[in-house]
Structure 1
Amino acid sequence: MNWHLDRLLKLPNMTVVKVQEIEGLIFLSLESLKEGIICPHCGNYTEDVHQTREVLVRDLSICSRGVYLKVPRRQFICSECGRYTTEGLEEMVFKRHHTERYEEYVYGRVVATTVKQVSREEQLKEDEIQAIFDAVSEEKNQKNWQPVKHIGLDEISTAKGQKNTEQW
């Protein structure tokens, strides 16, 4: 456990167990501090790990070096209901290989520059940069629209000299 790196990363319930530098990139191996999870199907607490897969997740750069997190994705089996559940990870979007803060960073960079320039600087494909931009943009543009209660009809056209006065 590296207390300083844990504090810098700000990933709750995760700790850094190994740091590697390979070809100018930094790889941080993480480990979960939680023993188990609550089954979303039946509400039972389980610590029975069925399998663990390591997922490589891109994070913000440190000292101009790309940072990748080696994150364990644990799948639990519930002893009560027998169903499988994959552990959710805070600060990481499920099935996307970037942290939320990295996606926000890329979005801000694309707004200020171009997809091509960000792609070159971050050493990612243009399609991947565009997909990140589109996903964050969609999340930012979601509105909480309220249901319509009243609809007003526009009667300006008759006031402007329109002679069509047919009844609807």
Structure 2
Amino acid sequence: MDFHLDTLLNLPNVVVDSYSNTLDAVILKLQLINDGINCPNCNEYICKTHQTRPILVRYLSVFGQLVYLKVPRRQFYCPNCQTSPTEPLSWLNKKQRQTNRYQEYIYEKVRELTVKQVSENERMSEDAIQDIFHKVAQSKKKTGGYLND
């Protein structure tokens, strides 16, 4: 689509395929540009896609609008070990509905403001904000730094 959006997102192996918007949200449909992955079980390079399930993931807001990424979650088939691993993404942890960058942002905001204020600003529940804060705090304890981007 437009390389400027790709550059602004700054996510590895990703291009913006298209976008749509509503009154208060922008949805960027992503395309993953790598052909395959190394199987986490046997390390064989695999490029046969078993299935793709798109998910909607929260990203940093821009110009007062919420931003969501429509991410194609690809599952590959490894004929060598007969497994179907899901493609790992360095900027999105497994079973997560927010990018690591967005979670970092929430963590920093909660350090400045109250959970209630962040909840209102981000239009998310207080429980979701607290969960993100605690998850990032735990990760920082373990690694001593930031989440992967």
TM interval, shorter chain, is over 0.9
Q: Could you tell me which residue of structure 1 aligns to residue 8 of structure 2?
A: 8
Q: What is the CA–CA distance in structure 2 between the aligned matches of 1:48 and 1:127, rounded to whole Å?
A: 39
On the 8 A contact 2:24/2:64 being kept in 1, the answer is: no
Instruction: Give the secondary-structure state (helix, strand or coil) at the position aligned to 2:85.
Output: strand
Q: What is the CA–CA distance in structure 2 between the aligned matches of 1:90 and 1:2, rounded to whole Å?
A: 23
Q: Could you tell me which residue of structure 2 aligns to residue 35 of structure 1?
A: 35
Q: What is the CA–CA distance in structure 2 between the aligned matches of 1:81 and 1:105, rounded to whole Å?
A: 39
Q: Runs of 5+ in structure 2 lacking a partner?
A: 145-149
Q: Could you tell me which residue of structure 2 aligns to residue 129 of structure 1?
A: 129
Q: Deviations over 1:74-97 (max 9, x none)?
A: 000112221110001121121111
After TM superposition, the structure 1 = structure 2 runs for residues 60-99 of structure 1, keeping only pairs within 5 Å, are 60-99=60-99
Q: Could you tell me which residue of structure 2 aligns to residue 55 of structure 1?
A: 55
Q: What is the CA–CA distance in structure 2 between the aligned matches of 1:73 and 1:143, rounded to whole Å?
A: 26
Structure number with larger C-alpha Rg: 1
Q: What is the CA–CA distance in structure 1 between the aligned matches of 2:129 and 2:54, rounded to whole Å?
A: 23
What number of residue pairs does the alignment pair up?
144
On the 8 A contact 1:48/1:79 being kept in 2, the answer is: no
Give the superposition deviation at 1:143: 6.5
Q: Could you tell me which residue of structure 2 aligns to residue 105 of structure 1?
A: 105
Instruction: Give the secondary-structure state (helix, strand or coil) at the position aligned to 1:119.
Output: helix
Q: What is the CA–CA distance in structure 2 between the aligned matches of 1:102 and 1:76, rounded to whole Å?
A: 27
Moved over 4 A (4+): none
Identity of aligned residues (%): 45
- Which moves more between the two structures, 39-48 or 11-20? 39-48
Q: Runs of 5+ in structure 1 lacking a partner?
A: 145-168
Q: Deviations over 1:14-36 (max 9, x none)?
A: 11001111131000000100111
Q: CA RMSD in A?
A: 1.2
TM-score in terms of structure 2 length: 0.92
Q: Could you tell me which residue of structure 2 aligns to residue 147 of structure 1?
A: none
Q: Deviations over 1:90-149 (max 9, x none)?
A: 2112111111111111111111110011001100011000000001111122378xxxxx
Q: Could you tell me which residue of structure 1 aligns to residue 147 of structure 2?
A: none
Q: Could you tell me which residue of structure 1 aligns to residue 120 of structure 2?
A: 120
Q: What is the CA–CA distance in structure 1 between the aligned matches of 2:25 and 2:79, rounded to whole Å?
A: 41
